[in-house]
Structure 1
Amino acid sequence: MGFRTQKPIEEQVVVITGASSGIGLSTARLAASRGARVVMAARSPEIEQLAEQLRGEGGRAEAVVADVSSEHDVRHVADVAEARFGRIDTWINNAGTSVYGRALEVPVDDMRELFDTDFWGTVYGSRVAVERMRDLGGTLINVGGVVSDHAMPLQGANSAAKHAVKGFTDALRVELEHDGVPVQITLLKPASIDTPFFAHARNRLDDGVPAAPPPVYAPEIVARALLDCAVRPKREVAVGTSGRAQLLLARWMPALSDKIVERRMFEPQMRREPHEPRVLGPGSERGDHRGMVRRRSADVTARRAPAMGAVVAGVGAVLVAIGLMRVASRVAESRAV
């Protein structure tokens, strides 16, 4: 079947889960500003107020209070979308959570709860979305992450869930292609994004609180990539140049990648602070990252301007190659000491 261009975003009905904050809220606001009819789903009752804000700004938005870990709730989201706007063109499975801690120390109940949202919520959303878009066609976008391919320490459960999301998404894509179902599937893999994700994550660290490891990107970058995929679907899209570099490193030199992660990715994932509540409620697109937040990403710019794609890809490959050589040299020197 291959990937085909879909209708313009201003003609689409877009369903977004996890739409009360972070990437989901940023995407809902951008989609509404571009003329799409947006259905915003989230567990928080405040999702109603956020949809009202969009309507007050001239957008067309509907809110649904729903927990994606409940298949009944997910079906209710689809029912509301069809009742209000008549159909669904793009469904974005964005809802997700995390738990930080060492893999052998995080309680299994925490892991199960995470899988209920991150994995089963994606499964329910995917099944319902395909069911509702099977005849007219559409786009399903599952939000994974760099950890869909490249596991991170202190995020074992999240890495496992996002690996599972990738496996399910890839299998579903092939099955729909085989059956000729006109639903196109994209797996979106953001890098480190400044959202409330880290403040909302369950913290099982002994000596700090979860933090976004740099370089950190703004959620608007992911929102633009999501809406681009709603119109021009692709198989997989990594958002954030650093994320693409991590994936290339893990693919080309996995043992070296593990060694770098072992030495470089523990401290940047936490802040040495007391375990105190960090309140970033519904309506917050940004998190509490204290360093620089990048508002642009060269890889996203290249996708939006195809003529630049080859140039950016070539430059990126050279930079990654240089980085690999430098890191390899450092690791070799450390072993020789």
Structure 2
Amino acid sequence: MTRPSLKPIAEQVIVITGGTSGIGLTTARMLAEHGAKLFLVARNEEALRALSAEIRGKGGTADYAVADVADYEHLQAASAKAIATFGGFDTWINDAGAFIYGRLDEVSLADQRRLFNVTYWGVVHGTLIAAEHLKVTGGAVINVGSVLGEIAIPYQGPYCASKFAVKGFTEAFRREAEASHHPISVTLIKPAAINTPFTDHARNRMDSKGTRNPPPAYDAHLVARAIMHACTTPVRDLTIGGAGGISMVVGNRMAPRVMDWMFAKFGHTSMTTELEGDKAQRDNLYEPREDLHDESSLHPLTRRTSLALEVQLNPGPTAAVAGGLAAIALAVGSTRRRLSRRR
């Protein structure tokens, strides 16, 4: 298959679902700053209107549609409006998600189905709708998955399962697109724990006032950078967060019983807090709540850098720096050994 040709950001029209909060909000603002025309999709019309006005007020271009990604016809109508408004689109980002904390046997099946309808079926709906346009014009589909699509953790079971499903769907879709010679770049973004209103918006079925993600939590701007990179560079997947992401996945593969013990021992305490956070944002599983926040009210500490991401975005320069540091370390070690022998 011919490598898909993607336009520079400033020449693109980009559709973002879940664009009024967290990763989607941060990404929308970053893309607008780089000149992209944005079409925002979310349930919260007040937030959509305010964000569009904010972007236009800074010289950008934005429009929106109110839609629940769980509803295929709603999302199809949003796509039609984007095409009517801008004449088409170049990239479609599936970011909308739903969140629940609680034991699998204590979260109702109705709530689990709702989470899947948003987090998995929303991605399926968005991808298939986008593909109808992009298989003719070319462009990118970017699905926001998670490292929890590689390793499941307790108390977030439905979310983990949905992200495993997103990974499987994305890989299958990519291979079918290639088999059909469709000029579509398909990227899976896999963030570790990110400091977003994820925890504020989650339905809480734990025995605590608030919920949180196991530390460390990374800055949403890192995920936005990864997404922006995928808008212009065909790339299979990108993982954000080494300490909280890649290390967990590797640990789970090499020593799964150790990971079982660690999560059994520390899982509950690492995901609960007696801080209530912002009640206006709490629990948007079925209805939208207050939006336009890029960080959680429950995460006091945030990592602003991810070496793992830098390696993926800049493999040549990063490898050279790492090689130089390794050479320095070897040289220092060798000098110390020689001095030790002389003594």
**TM superposition score normalised by structure 2:** 0.87
**Partner residue in 2 for 1:117:** 118
Q: Deviations over 1:6-45 (max 9, x none)?
A: 2111111111000111110110110011001111111001
Where do residues 161-310 of structure 1 align in structure 2 (5 Å cutoff)?
161-242=162-243, 243-273=245-275, 277=279, 279=281, 281-310=290-319
Instruction: Look up the SS of the partner of 1:19 in the other structure.
Output: coil
Instruction: Look up the SS of the partner of 1:88 in the other structure.
Output: coil
Once residues 172 and 260 of structure 1 are traced to their aligned partners in structure 2, the CA distance between those partners, rounded to angstroms, is: 35
Q: Which amino acid in the other structure matches residue 7 of structure 1?
A: K
Where do residues 90-129 of structure 1 align in structure 2 (5 Å cutoff)?
90-129=91-130
Once residues 122 and 293 of structure 2 are traced to their aligned partners in structure 1, the CA distance between those partners, rounded to angstroms, is: 22
Where do residues 316-335 of structure 1 align in structure 2 (5 Å cutoff)?
none
When structure 1 is superposed on structure 2, of 270-279 and 242-251 the one drifting more is: 270-279
Once residues 15 and 241 of structure 1 are traced to their aligned partners in structure 2, the CA distance between those partners, rounded to angstroms, is: 28
Is the 1:48–1:64 Cα contact (8 Å) retained in structure 2? no
Is the 1:18–1:41 Cα contact (8 Å) retained in structure 2? yes
Is the 1:118–1:162 Cα contact (8 Å) retained in structure 2? yes
> Quick one: structure 1 residues 229 and 274, their matched pair in 2 at CA, closer, same or farther if it must change by over 3 Å?
closer
Q: Which amino acid in the other structure matches residue 66 of structure 1?
A: A
Q: Which amino acid in the other structure matches residue 85 of structure 1?
A: F
> Quick one: structure 1 residues 128 and 265, their matched pair in 2 at CA, closer, same or farther if it must change by over 3 Å?
same
Is the 2:200–2:277 Cα contact (8 Å) retained in structure 1? no
Q: Which amino acid in the other structure matches residue 60 of structure 2?
A: G
Once residues 264 and 234 of structure 1 are traced to their aligned partners in structure 2, the CA distance between those partners, rounded to angstroms, is: 35
Is the 1:196–1:284 Cα contact (8 Å) retained in structure 2? yes
Instruction: Look up the SS of the partner of 1:135 in the other structure.
Output: helix
Once residues 30 and 295 of structure 2 are traced to their aligned partners in structure 1, the CA distance between those partners, rounded to angstroms, is: 15
> Quick one: structure 1 residues 248 and 35, their matched pair in 2 at CA, closer, same or farther if it must change by over 3 Å?
same
When structure 1 is superposed on structure 2, of 248-257 and 227-236 the one drifting more is: 248-257
Once residues 279 and 25 of structure 2 are traced to their aligned partners in structure 1, the CA distance between those partners, rounded to angstroms, is: 22
Is the 2:10–2:36 Cα contact (8 Å) retained in structure 1? yes
Once residues 228 and 251 of structure 1 are traced to their aligned partners in structure 2, the CA distance between those partners, rounded to angstroms, is: 29
> Quick one: structure 1 residues 257 and 4, their matched pair in 2 at CA, closer, same or farther if it must change by over 3 Å?
farther
**Tell me, which stretches of 5 or more residues in structure 1 are unaligned?**
316-337
Q: Which amino acid in the other structure matches residue 182 of structure 1?
A: P
Note if 1:26 corresponds to 2:26: yes
> Quick one: structure 1 residues 273 and 189, their matched pair in 2 at CA, closer, same or farther if it must change by over 3 Å?
same
Identity of aligned residues (%): 39
> Quick one: structure 1 residues 37 and 209, their matched pair in 2 at CA, closer, same or farther if it must change by over 3 Å?
same
Instruction: Look up the SS of the partner of 1:102 in the other structure.
Output: coil
> Quick one: structure 1 residues 23 and 264, their matched pair in 2 at CA, closer, same or farther if it must change by over 3 Å?
same
Is the 1:211–1:269 Cα contact (8 Å) retained in structure 2? yes
**TM superposition score normalised by structure 1:** 0.88
Larger Cα-atom Rg: 2
Q: Which amino acid in the other structure matches residue 295 of structure 1?
A: R
> Quick one: structure 1 residues 211 and 311, their matched pair in 2 at CA, closer, same or farther if it must change by over 3 Å?
farther
> Quick one: structure 1 residues 286 and 124, their matched pair in 2 at CA, closer, same or farther if it must change by over 3 Å?
same
Instruction: Look up the SS of the partner of 1:217 in the other structure.
Output: coil
The structural deviation recorded for 1:278 is 5.1
